Amino acid sequence: MDIKQFEDLTKGSFPLDKEAMEACKLRWNEVAKPLYSLGTFEKYLIKIAGITGCQDIKLDKKAIVVMCSDNGVVEEGVTQTDQSVTAIVAGHIAEGKGNINTLARYSGAQVIAVDIGMNTGEEKTGELNKHIEREKSAELDKHIERDKTKELDRHIEREKSAELDKHIEREKTKELDRHIEREKSAELDKHREREKSEKLIKHEETAWQENTDVTFLNGLIAAKVAKGTGNIAKGAAMSRAQAVQAIMTGINLMRELKDKGYSIVGTGEMGIGNTTTSSAMASVMLKLPVKTLTGPGAGLSNEGVVHKIQVIEQAIEVNKPDSSDPVDVLAKIGGFDIAGITGLFLGGMLYRLPVVIDGIISAVAALTACRINPDAVHFMLASHQGREKACDYILKELGLTPVIYGDLALGEGSGTAFLFPLLDMAEAVYRNSPTFRGMKIVAYEDLKTGK
Residues 233 and 314 both lie in one domain: yes
Q: What CATH number is attached to the domain comprising 90?
A: 3.40.50.10210
Residue 147 scores a pLDDT above 70: no
State how many domains the chain has: 2
pLDDT digits (tens, 9 = 90+) for 156-214: 666 666 666 666 566 666 766 676 777 777 777 666 665 655 555 455 555 555 555 56
Specify the pTM.
0.81
Mean predicted confidence (pLDDT) in 18-32:
97
| Sheet with 220-222: strands ordered across | 216-217, 220-222, 109-117, 62-69, 264-270, 355-357, 380-382
At residue 99, φ and ψ (nearest 5 deg) are: -60, -40
The answer as to whether 163 is a domain residue is yes
* Residue-range definition of the domain harbouring residue 339: 3-12+60-118+224-422
The upper half-sphere exposure of residue 238, i.e. CA atoms within 13 Å in the direction of its Cβ, equals 31
Based on the domain organization, do 311 and 193 belong to the same domain? no
Q: Is the pLDDT of residue 119 over 90?
A: yes
Residue 330 lies in a domain: yes
Q: Residue 65 and residue 71: Cα distance in Å, rounded?
A: 19
**403 shares a domain with 258:** yes
Residue 125 has pLDDT above 50, yes or no: no
One domain, residues 210 and 262 = no
In whole angstroms, how large is the CA radius of gyration of the chain?
Answer: 25
The reported pLDDT for the residue numbered 205 is 53
**Residue 102 confidence (pLDDT) above 70:** yes
210 with 163, same domain: the answer is yes
Q: For residue 368, which of 404, 402, 403, 332 has the smallest C-alpha distance?
A: 332
Predicted confidence at residue 447, as pLDDT, reads 77
The neighbour count for residue 168, using CB atoms within 10 Å, is 14
- Residue 55 forms part of a structural domain: no
Torsion angle, CA of 27/31/34/35, rounded to 10 degrees? Answer: 0
**β-pairing verdict for 216-217 and 220-222:** antiparallel
Which residues are marked as active site? 412
pLDDT band at 219 (very low <50, low <70, confident <90, very high): confident
Task: Note whether 250 and 340 are within 8 A (CB).
Answer: yes
Answer yes or no: is 27 within a domain.
no
pLDDT digit string, tens, across residues 274-296: 999 999 999 999 999 999 999 99
Do 99 and 151 lie in one domain? The reply is no
Inside any domain, residue 43: no
CB count in 10 Å sphere of residue 162? 9
Report how far residue 36's alpha carbon sits from residue 34's, in angstroms, rounded to the nearest whole number: 6
Q: How confident is the model at residue 128 (pLDDT cuts 50, 70, 90)?
A: very low
At 318-360, the pLDDT tens digits run 999 999 999 999 999 999 999 999 999 999 999 999 999 999 9
Q: How far is 314 from 301, CA to CA, in rounded Å?
A: 20
Average pLDDT, the chain: 88
**Confidence category of residue 272, pLDDT binned at 50, 70, 90:** very high
Buried b (16+ CB within 10 A) or exposed e, 214-237: eebebbbbebbbbebbbbbbeebb
Question: Is residue 341 domain-shared with residue 195, that is, in the same domain?
Answer: no
Among candidate residues 173, 195, 214, the one where a domain is terminated: 214
User: Does residue 368 lie within any of the structural domains?
Assistant: yes
The answer as to whether 156 is a domain residue is yes
**Total residue length of the chain:** 451
Q: Which pLDDT score is estimated for 180?
A: 73
